[in-house]
Amino acid sequence: MPQWFVRGLRRGVVTTRYPDHADASASVLPSPPAFRPEELTGQIADSLVQICPSWALTRAGDVLVFDAGACTACGQCRESEPRAVTTSREFGLAATDRSALVKRIPLLGEAGQ
């Protein structure tokens, strides 16, 4: 018991000061993927839809529909197509409207970025 007390005094205050200050650990947390539309062909999109174990990815014609709410940040999509998918490092993803979590990513072969 005294050891714990002394250790605590030496370490000082460890409480995060979020939301007043950013927390350093935010960047190393697992996060949903970010997509590169310039690499997303229709074929790659279909394989991503197959691979996602959480039904977060569906294809609607020329658009890849990504449901950030259903994403478990497992990383399967990134490991299978590392050029098309990278990690987004976003952590504050709360939404007051469920549809705000559903993102439409344009596929390659469409005009635009």
Q: Which residues bind another protein (CB under 8 A)?
A: 14-16, 18-19, 23, 25-26, 29-30, 32-37, 53-56, 66-74, 86, 88, 90-98, 100-101, 103, 105, 113
CB of 46 to another protein, least distance (A): 19
- How far the first Cα of the chain sits from its last, in Å, is 60
Q: Which of 104, 106, 101, 102 is nearest to 40 (CA)?
A: 106
Q: Are 45 and 81 in contact (CB under 8 A)?
A: no
The C-alpha atoms of residue 41 and residue 85 are separated, in whole angstroms, by 12
- Residue (2 or 14) nearer to another protein, CB: 14
The C-alpha atoms of residue 86 and residue 25 are separated, in whole angstroms, by 19
CB of 61 to another protein, least distance (A): 18
CB of 47 to another protein, least distance (A): 18
- Residue (39 or 47) nearer to another protein, CB: 39
